[in-house]
């Protein structure tokens, strides 16, 4: 049973890490979008 509990805990950690990865990817997309906008429209503020 202890081994199964460890497996569940590791799986939970994996889900948390995956969630962090998604968040980081979302930040990357936002930064890329801002960079594209800056490249297209120059440094004009919105």
Distance CA 28, CA 6 (A): 33
pLDDT for 12:
92
pLDDT for 1:
65
Distance CA 32, CA 9 (A): 34
One digit per residue, pLDDT tens: the chain, 46 residues? 677 888 889 899 999 999 999 999 999 999 999 999 889 888 665 5
Distance CA 42, CA 3 (A): 57
Query: How many residues are listed for the chain in this entry?
Result: 46
pLDDT for 44:
63
pLDDT for 5:
86
């Amino acid at each position: 049973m202890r081994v199964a509990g460890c497996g569940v805990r590791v799986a939970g950690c994996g889900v948390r890490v995956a969630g962090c990865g998604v968040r980081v990817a979302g930040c990357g997309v936002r930064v890329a979008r801002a960079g594209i906008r800056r490249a297209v429209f120059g440094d004009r503020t919105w």
